[in-house]
Chain A
Amino acid sequence: MADKPRLKIPSEAKKGDIVEIKTLMPHVMESGQRKDKDGKVIPRKIINKFTCTFNGKPVFSADLEPAIAANPYLQFYVRVEESGTFKFAWTDDDGTVTTAEQSITVG
């Protein structure tokens, strides 16, 4: 079982609040620039794209590059006007997309 992504998001907020979103994706982020002990290049395997939507609307996305360390941690802020669900997706070089979601109640 691969380690699951970690999220830290407040469960409640007031309308118009700017909330802090913390995400962490367990991943090796192998840069493709290292060699193994036999001198062969270790193939690149990174998360190359991250997206976050709120109620279906994109609110944050990022292209990740090989220099980013293992277990990429992204923290950002979103203004919330209504209750809803944050959906997150991490795209691996091999095409795998790992998703996670969490809802927030806006009062």
Chain B
Amino acid sequence: MRRGVMGTGAALAALAAVAAWGLAAAAPGAQPSKAPIDVKGDAAARPWKRYPGWPTRDESKFNTLAKLSSPPAPKQPRPVPALTGDPAHGEKLVADRNRGGSCLACHVMGPAGGANLPGNVGPDLSEIGNAGLTDEQLFNFIYDARVYNPDTVMPPWGSHGLFSDQEIMDMVAFLKTLKAPAVFKTPLDDPDKRPVPVEKRDNLDPMENPALWAIDKAKALWKARGPTGFACATCHSNPEDSFKTWAATMPKWEPRLDKVLGVEEFVTRHARATTGFDWLMETDENRAMSVYLHNLANGAPIAVDTSSPQAQAAIARGKELANRKLGQLNFACTDCHGKAANRWIRGQWLGEPRGQYDHFPTWRTSLQAIWDIRQRFQWCQVNIRADELPPDAKEYGDLELYLASLNQGLKESVPGIRH
């Protein structure tokens, strides 16, 4: 037994106490939870190791949700380096997806990249060669556009070390050749005409959504006795009735830990304190339990506590984190899902925050895997070349509560199904 509160000789009195905790755990609302939780240690693996198959770049120089370390924005435009640009090489670089997504992710650029599914987050650059911009302006827009527009969402390609001066000069030389409106081979290639994706699959049909299979696993875990001799079912004998709304009230401020707990971290800590199971976050057992508990609350409107002073403070911190520029690409959550929301980043549609929470944990058809919201947060960061935090980080708790508050009232529909 790792951290169970009860010895193996626990008497009936202890069982009665567990039963009383069970009732408290099922009560939704703003009152602090009385459910026993293990408050010691971490709820996820330490040291945190990135998932297999994810990029292994070292981005420690740049901001994360836990620290500020990115270099400051330059105050003055840089003079143009004494280098000659090669437009043919520049054309290759603007479509190079190994350098943080390629220019085409956000800009239509005439014939570059075969005009294949460009995005429309930034302006159409197909006629930038006619715009009368100087070499210094073109160079600095790529090197670090913040010298001209402090609110830009454009990554600082030069000052964050993604492209060398020579490479930027090559791209400047290519931009100057762009003088005619883009010609799209198919209507789909034009981001302004591309239809908004609609998810039509039935996420609650086990023939469509393999994440539902995790519920069978969770139901077996529910009955399994842990090292203390107790099972979830010992106290929660009828989860279909007692968890009709619980997951929709999470995440929640937890005074005993001085942080916001989501369903997944709650499961880890509550199981340790009751059954003695150690279901760390981002293990199959934890994901299965999270899918099951959310699934039991399907149809319930998301109703997280946003009114207590602690919840309001956490939401304010979460909002600040959502606005923090992160990683080598220097994106904040609110850049893609705020300023650039409802536009295309290459072939991917950027959604608004509302609608990005009610279906988690969700099935990722492209990965054949269940992702909970914390893994989704982690991927957003790794994808923008920032170091992720462990899934139980308090910053993610604040961010999750902020996101949940933006999704208040939407009905749970878990597990979701997404590409």
Contacts and interface: CB of A to CB of B under 8 A. Distances in A.
Contacts of B210: 3, 26, 71
16 contacts: A1-B216, A1-B217, A1-B220, A3-B210, A3-B213, A4-B213, A4-B216, A6-B206, A6-B207, A8-B207, A22-B207, A24-B207, A26-B213, A70-B368, A71-B210, A73-B207
Contacts of A4: 213, 216
A3 B207 contact: no
Interface string B173-213: 00000000000000000000000000000000011001001
Interface of A: 1, 3-4, 6, 8, 22, 24, 26, 70-71, 73
Nearest to B53: A37
Interface of B: 206-207, 210, 213, 216-217, 220, 368
B224 to A, nearest CB: 11
Interface of B is mostly: helix
A47 to B, nearest CB: 16
Given A4-B213, A6-B213, 7 more contacts: A1-B216, A1-B217, A1-B220, A3-B210, A3-B213, A6-B207, A8-B207
A4 B220 CA distance: 13
B284 to A, nearest CB: 11
- Scoring A1, A3, A8, A70 by chain B CB atoms within 10 A of each residue's CB, the highest score goes to A3
A26 B210 CA distance: 8
Nearest to A24: B207
A79 B146 CA distance: 69
A22 to B, nearest CB: 6
A70 B216 CA distance: 20
B367 to A, nearest CB: 12
Nearest to B206: A6
Contacts of A1: 216-217, 220
Nearest to B205: A8
Contacts of B213: 3-4, 6, 26
Nearest to A8: B207
Nearest to B368: A70
Nearest to A28: B368
A91 B207 CA distance: 20
* A-B pairs with lowest CB-CB distance, top 10: A3-B213, A6-B206, A24-B207, A6-B207, A22-B207, A8-B207, A71-B210, A26-B213, A70-B368, A1-B220
Nearest to B214: A3
B87 to A, nearest CB: 38
Nearest to A69: B368
Contacts of A6: 206-207, 213
Contacts of B207: 6, 8, 22, 24, 73
Nearest to B220: A1
Contacts of A8: 207
A13 to B, nearest CB: 19
B205 to A, nearest CB: 8
A98 to B, nearest CB: 14
A64 B280 CA distance: 38
A14 B217 CA distance: 36
Nearest to B213: A3
B204 to A, nearest CB: 13
A73 B209 CA distance: 12
B238 to A, nearest CB: 23
